Amino acid sequence: MNKQYQFWFCVGSQDLYGEECLRNVAEHAQAMVKEINDSGDLPFPLVYKPILITAEMIHRTFKEAGEDDTCAGVITWMHTFSPAKSWIKGLQANTKPLMHLHTQFNEAIPYDDIDMDFMNENQSAHGGREYGHIVSRMGLARKVIAGHWRNEGVRRRIASWMRTAVGIVESSRLRVMRVADNMRNVAVTEGDKVEAQLKFGWEVDAWPVTELAHAVAAVSASDTNALVDEYYDTYDIILDGRDKDEFRRHVAVQAQIELGFERFLKEKNYHAIVTHFDDLGTLQQLPGLAIQRLMSKGYGFGAEGDWKTAAMVRLMKLMTADIKNAKGTSMLEDYTYHLVPGQEGILQAHMLEICPSLASGKPAIRCQPLTMGNREDPARLVFTSKTGPGVAVSLIDLGTRFRLIVAGVDCLANEKPMPKLPVATVFWKPQPDFTTGVEAWILAGGAHHTAFSYDLTVEQMVDWAEHMGIEALVIDQHTTLRTFKQEILLGNAVYR
Ligand code: MN
């Protein structure tokens, strides 16, 4: 689903140390790129760029990176000292996510042989500080990763930042289709779409539900039947006592919606969609199974007109694309609490639309009544979800600015089955504990809708927000309410 992204590996030096030193710097950089690429540790390849020794070269390289659509980020490393004024023009021209890899070719000090030539050639400790100074003085967002380039943890962090960088570059081309407006009277799903385009690059457009309904009606019976066959092959069927032909007709309505919506989204070039149960036009059912399938194909989704969540789900899908053994990414909603002492947690669900990528086993299709939407009983996928840590984010509009709330959560197995609940669920315990996590979320103004992923971390989402120039409030195992309240006050002063 992603482009064939690459990351440019740009090494800084200068001509003060002579030809031999520069040759060594280039050899080292090329050897590192080759070894790291061959390791398969990174999700995207590094591309070696000629050693940067003058302001003109640095400027030209950043400009070329900006013009190259396959370049998702620039990774910089100061092998030797590189006077940082020569980086100013280039950094001013930079439009790509930036990383400062603060590493050194040699892991160990060669105690027996070390001389001044070695020191001059291997002075990242020195040159990296000069470079870091100018990036800080210019106030540019960048990721700093320090450590030896062969270290597993360092590579893991580079790999994880690469996915953040994809979230940053993809943000600028994200297009959200709004089918109907926000749910009446709801505050947190509202927001400034112009500001979102300025800040994140998102294009958020409204389309009449009648046009989508026409696209759905235009889907042929044979295409619909083929997709229903696929559903029956892929998922379990829980009839709940319904007639099996009547059940299949209900399922077919969702298959037709999936195909019609997907064709319309593709034709109009949108990557995320919102629906609203109060504005369904001639659609026979609230899109349930159809939306769940679209999410599993990588589309973003937000319910009740929540375009901010739809956009975040889409971005997080892109950030996690092609992860081996990915555990899943979806929109979720805080629904019901379990408040039994020692077992506290939040049951996450929605009326229908949870992405089956979260499922721990084979999802099943059920058709159950739904008062919301005032249409026939919608078919939906039900399942319980995987266990383990994940990250839940909520992007809110505070009127004058956006805030991203980023929460670490621990998903647990359901204590008992819930046979009468006809929706997919996740049960999680907020970090650092139920009381602190929930109280911090409320104080931060976090929404009831979240974009959630098992496959991303708090660090990745915070880095994304930092690059976008918005506040990120973190609720994780280090959170205490006293410092969290201070962070809110600090954010109010800093972000205006
Ligand atoms: Mn909702």
d(CA 358, CA 321): 14
Interval between CA 357 and ligand 1 midpoint (Å): 19
Percentages of the chain per state (helix, strand, coil), in multiples of 5? 40, 20, 35
What distance in angstroms lies between residue 184's CA and the mean position of ligand 1's atoms?
A: 12
Q: β-strand 143-146 against 6-12: which pairing, if any?
A: unpaired
From the CA of 449, how far away is ligand 1's center (Å)? Answer: 6
Q: In the structure encoding, which two tokens stand for residue 329, read together?
A: 């990414």
* Domain 6-171 coded CATH 3.40.50.720: no
Cα of 391 to ligand 1 centre, how many Å?
Answer: 19
Determine the distance separating the centroid of ligand 1 and the alpha carbon of 171, expressed in angstroms.
24
CB under 8 Å to 19, separation ≥6 — which residues?
none
Burial profile 15-46: b = 16 or more Cβ within 10 angstroms, e = fewer:
eebeeebbebbbebbeebbeebbeeeebbbeb
| 381-384 contacts at long range (C-beta below 8 A, 24 or more positions apart) | 381/235, 381/288, 381/289, 381/292, 381/354, 381/356, 381/424, 382/238, 382/421, 382/422, 382/423, 382/424, 383/356, 383/358, 383/359, 383/424, 384/359, 384/360, 384/413, 384/414, 384/424, 384/425, 384/426
Per-residue pLDDT of the chain (496 residues; tens, 9 = 90+): 556 999 999 999 888 888 999 999 999 999 999 999 999 999 999 999 999 999 999 999 999 999 999 999 999 999 988 899 999 999 999 999 999 999 999 999 999 999 999 998 999 999 999 999 999 999 999 999 999 999 999 999 999 999 999 999 999 999 999 998 999 999 999 999 999 999 999 999 999 999 999 999 999 999 999 999 999 999 999 999 999 999 999 999 999 999 999 999 999 999 999 999 999 999 999 999 999 999 999 999 999 999 999 999 999 999 999 999 999 999 999 999 999 999 999 999 999 999 999 999 999 999 999 888 789 999 999 999 999 999 999 999 999 999 999 999 999 999 999 999 999 999 999 999 999 999 999 999 999 999 999 999 999 999 999 999 999 999 999 999 999 999 999 999 999 7
Measured in Å, residue 349 CA sits from the centre of ligand 1 at: 9
3-state secondary structure of 182: coil
Give distance in angstroms: CA of 447 to centre of ligand 1.
10
Q: What is the pLDDT of residue 2?
A: 56
Stretch(es) of the chain classified as CATH 3.40.50.10940: 6-171
Q: How far is the CA of 335 from the centre of ligand 1 (A)?
A: 9
Within the chain, all domains assigned CATH 3.40.275.10 are found at 175-494
Residue 144 Cα to ligand 1 midpoint, Å, equals 38
Q: Which residues, in sequence order, are bridge partners of residue 98?
A: 74
Span from the CA of 304 to the centroid of ligand 1 (angstroms): 6
How far away, in angstroms, is 373 Cα from ligand 1 center?
13
**CATH 2.102.10.10 for the 175-494 domain, yes or no:** no
Q: How far is the CA of 105 from the centre of ligand 1 (A)?
A: 51
